[in-house]
Structure 1
Amino acid sequence: MTSDDDVVTLEDIEKAREVIMKSPLNVRKTPLLKNMTSYFPELDQSINLHLKLESLQTTGSFKIRGVANQMANLPQEVKSGKRKLITMSAGNYGKAFAYTLDKLNLSGLCLMPLTAPSSRVALIKSYGCEVAIYPSHEIQAAFSQYAAHNFPVLDPIDDASYITGCGSVAMEILEDDVRPDVVVVCCGGGGLVSGIAAAIKLSGLRDCRIYAVEPEGSRTMYESFQKGEPVTMAVNSVATGLSPPYAGKLTYQCCRRYVEDVILVSDNEILKCMSRLFDIGLVAEPSGCAALAAILNNKIPDVAGKRVVAVVTGRIVTESILGPTTNVTSTSGFADTFSVPLSDNYSDPFAAPNKDKTTTSVIEFPEASCHEYMFDSTARSFYMNNTCVREKPSPSTPSLGVNQVASLPLLISSVVAALVMVVFIILFFAKKCKRREFCRRKNTAMKNSAVNSGFGTQEGSEIGLLPVNDIYNELREHEKRTNDDGKQENYHHLDLTFVKDEVDPSQYDHVTKTSGPYEFVISHG
């Protein structure tokens, strides 16, 4: 495919772009947010910052690009489903792999480490993909054994097809009429930064500087640059998607050729960046924040007045209300928090917290097994093992939280609506009671008048004063009524007289006259 010196070519990347956009996996062209510097006042405002949001990609990260291109380059016997595919992952690559198998109706096996969260294992299984669990230090050897026995494997790091698929990100940046001076990309195994760096340099932007960014606790590419060869080492970081225990041979080779330098950021800087992105309405996981974290912490040299692109690579972090806890609340001093455990099915990760009781956020990011992370939605602060990673407001100057302020108009309108409803109900029943009292007095007067005239003394006669709206109901009741012996009473007719003032009923024999809003019901036996 390429020579030893050229891991990938521009032709390979352009072809990969065409292949993945035509694939049935719904790979998207993700948005490039331009001129974002004003959203980050801490930055030198002469920087022209753009954000490439691979966090909005299908399956929640850029990984699907590489997987889609790898699938297109598989042997036909594998594409037809006759042979089972093998890969290894505990993160976003495994999710993209399982999603692909499900879409293409293929079978596969994902090797996962014991440290993989149970929710991630369950998610990958839910796509119909088989899972085998290995101790973390044995998983690479197990994967190599499958490859040695001629099983078709998809390498999540060291594969030219994967690198060229990831390079399609750079082609989209260039298509959006941006000629960047600096591009900053997170680095785990190195596939994404290798593909982007190669695509930009091979497209003719020789003066563009590409920086790879790694967590301080997972610095495999940084150490590889220092030693001049790919290294394997123990890793530990909140950004678990950037924490493979080794640097790939092909990715190292590509990075050495096209990448300016490898920059390190701390876990605290990553989490602060995650909080800042949330402040402006963007959701990203820790691994997806590393590139921007390096920019916000002034670790990228010579960016004043330059066009800078940072790639936000993933968003796999989800909230779920677990209920109140006390340890973090007492530490943070804020009540408006919520609980967030590790999950793989993405939804809004920062939904409105429970307003009725104090709850606390506990965020376990993908594959994080040794730390707990909390996000305080009022103070926009993250906590790691109960330690705040963003400065809190002084307790002596309390302020109303963002969510409380936002809820005040709704609370006021609800109270006003309730008061209006109470007044309406009181007026309604007062009017009804007044009307009933008027009817009662008028009815008594009419009965007395009828009796005095001799009309109401006939056996079986009835006189009643009813509201006009009940006229037909009263007629039906009279027709169905039975006497005390259980026999149907025989009414000759019903005369309805509408009266307003006192009248003499004897003057209205078999006559209905409308002169007011009430019914005068007379029945003869």
Structure 2
Amino acid sequence: MKKMLQLDNFYKARYVLNNVIRKTELVHTKKINPDVDVYLKPECLQKTGSFKIRGAYYKISQLSEEEKAKGVVACSAGNHAQGVALGATAMGVKSLICLPEGAPISKVEATRRLGADVCLVPGVYDDAYQKALQLHDEKGYTFVHPFDDENVIAGQGTIGLELMEQLPSLDAVVVPVGGGGLISGVAFAIKSLNPKIKVYGVQAEGAPSMQKSLCDKKRECLSSVSTVADGIAVKEPGELTFETCSKYVDEIVTVSEDEICAAILKLIESEKMVAEGAGAASVAAVMFNKVPVKGKKTVCIVSGGNIDVTILNRVINRGLAKSGRLCTLDMQLDDQPGKLVEVCTVIANNGANITSVHHDRTGNRNKVNACILRVTMETKNQEHIDEIRKALEEKGITITNNSNLKV
């Protein structure tokens, strides 16, 4: 039987979730992009730290008593796992979550704390997915798909219904896209109620499966995905989500790793909001003008906040580098007394703050009596960096490169 989305089911999901989910009010901000009237939908403040609780809870609530008695199985590297665990435990249903062995310990433990049993599977997400399907066949558990399910999509789509009430004069919505469950729900709900509102999707450059699929007009499976936004690192979109996006989504764009990191930093600094890479992708698209929303009332869905704190420092440093707030310059100097003082004086006089200096006498192969000096400094923006470079070059100092910090 062909799966279909029905708006009635979205309203039913909203009723079921009414006393379960947290009400995430819109945050109006002028700091993301001065040319766009931006509102943030902070699903990072949702229970379990992500929108995934909506679809998972509603899906489990619609199971028969017999299905609930047998339990549910899911596979996830993070947010979906916690949504299923919380939803199942709240309804007294046994849940088993298959996770790849390499999943962050914090996410594994968070899933256990919410009442689920965890099955660690050797390999990657796809191996965990196959194991979950195997257990579904062997044990009779109901498989809760992370995105390609009409009830899961209806649960996620309750965000679209909320947006229509919270901001009736809405012009555009920008949504992070992995497998496509969130954007399918939001786009179907919004376009059903007001087809004039634009819906834009955002994927990471290292995982553009839905963008490529829509471009080729058929589902495509990427050979590999690589991005700091692990929540949207999906190799292949779902059947139902691909079909829904084909009909209701206006455009899907991509953002780079640097842009995602800059957006995470912007949300922390400007809005005091912690977003994971996937959650910040929508903000990155508006920050760096990837979507045509200039002058429009635009909602960015910040889909989750479960960033692994062990990489947060690297993400922030990369975000600082992208926004011109942290700069590393390599310079070739004659190895003579006073040269280091000269460089430091130029930088200080131009108002930058040096955070580290590395002096290497062996790094230069061209001149025996020269050295390489690597200086990392805190700066204001890209214009400030350009001023410092110019001042150094006017002093006869050769800058060999401007190396961005990498995650």
Query: Under a length normalisation based on structure 1, what TM-score does the superposition of the two structures give?
Result: 0.59
Which has the larger share of strand?
2
Residue 259 (structure 2) pairs with residue 269 (structure 1): yes
Residue 50 (structure 2) pairs with residue 61 (structure 1): yes
Number of residue pairs aligned between Structure 1 and Structure 2? 329
SS in 2 for 1:178: coil
| Superimposed CA distance per residue, residues 221-241 of structure 1 (whole angstroms, 9 cap, x where no aligned partner) | 011112222222211100000
Query: Under a length normalisation based on structure 2, what TM-score does the superposition of the two structures give?
Result: 0.76
Cα shift at 1:61:
0.8
2:278: which partner in 1? Answer: 287
Cα shift at 1:249:
0.8
Larger Rg: 1
Residue 143 (structure 2) pairs with residue 156 (structure 1): no
1:132: which partner in 2? Answer: 119
| Superimposed CA distance per residue, residues 369-398 of structure 1 (whole angstroms, 9 cap, x where no aligned partner) | xxxx2535xxxx647xxxx44323675324
1:30 to 24, 37, 50: 24
Trace 1:447-486 onto structure 2 (pairs within 5 A). none
Cα shift at 1:130:
1.5
1:169 to 156, 159, 163: 159
Question: For the residues of structure 2 that align with 1:69 and 1:103, how far apart are their CA atoms?
Answer: 12
Which amino acid letter does the alignment assign opposite residue 25 of structure 2? P
1:248: which partner in 2? Answer: 238
Asked if 2 retains the 8 angstrom alpha-carbon contact of 1:101 and 1:127, the reply is no
Question: For the residues of structure 2 that align with 1:312 and 1:390, how far apart are their CA atoms?
Answer: 20
Question: For the residues of structure 1 that align with 2:90 and 2:354, how far apart are their CA atoms?
Answer: 48
Cα shift at 1:187:
0.4
Trace 1:348-359 onto structure 2 (pairs within 5 A). none
Cα shift at 1:217:
0.3
Question: For the residues of structure 1 that align with 2:315 and 2:158, how far apart are their CA atoms?
Answer: 35
1:76 to 40, 47, 65: 65
Runs of 4+ in 1 over 6 A off after TM superposition: none
Asked if 2 retains the 8 angstrom alpha-carbon contact of 1:7 and 1:253, the reply is no
Cα shift at 1:20:
1.1
| Superimposed CA distance per residue, residues 106-143 of structure 1 (whole angstroms, 9 cap, x where no aligned partner) | 21211111231122222222333211122224233223
Trace 1:479-518 onto structure 2 (pairs within 5 A). none
Cα shift at 1:399:
5.6
Which amino acid letter does the alignment assign opposite residue 63 of structure 2? L
Which amino acid letter does the alignment assign opposite residue 9 of structure 2? D
SS in 2 for 1:269: helix
Question: For the residues of structure 2 that align with 1:216 and 1:153, how far apart are their CA atoms?
Answer: 30
Cα shift at 1:267:
0.9
Which amino acid letter does the alignment assign opposite residue 106 of structure 1? V
Residue 4 (structure 2) pairs with residue 7 (structure 1): yes
Question: For the residues of structure 1 that align with 2:57 and 2:172, how far apart are their CA atoms?
Answer: 28
SS in 2 for 1:193: helix
Trace 1:363-378 onto structure 2 (pairs within 5 A). 363=312, 373-375=314-316
Which amino acid letter does the alignment assign opposite residue 13 of structure 1? F
Name the % identity.
31
Question: For the residues of structure 1 that align with 2:115 and 2:39, how far apart are their CA atoms?
Answer: 38
Question: For the residues of structure 1 that align with 2:164 and 2:277, how far apart are their CA atoms?
Answer: 26
Aligned Cα root-mean-square deviation (Å)? 2.2
1:297: which partner in 2? Answer: 288
Asked if 2 retains the 8 angstrom alpha-carbon contact of 1:7 and 1:254, the reply is no
SS in 2 for 1:183: strand
Which amino acid letter does the alignment assign opposite residue 294 of structure 1? A
Which amino acid letter does the alignment assign opposite residue 65 of structure 2? Q
Question: For the residues of structure 1 that align with 2:72 and 2:79, how far apart are their CA atoms?
Answer: 17
Asked if 2 retains the 8 angstrom alpha-carbon contact of 1:9 and 1:202, the reply is no
Any gaps of 5 or more consecutive residues in structure 2?
A: 328-346, 356-407
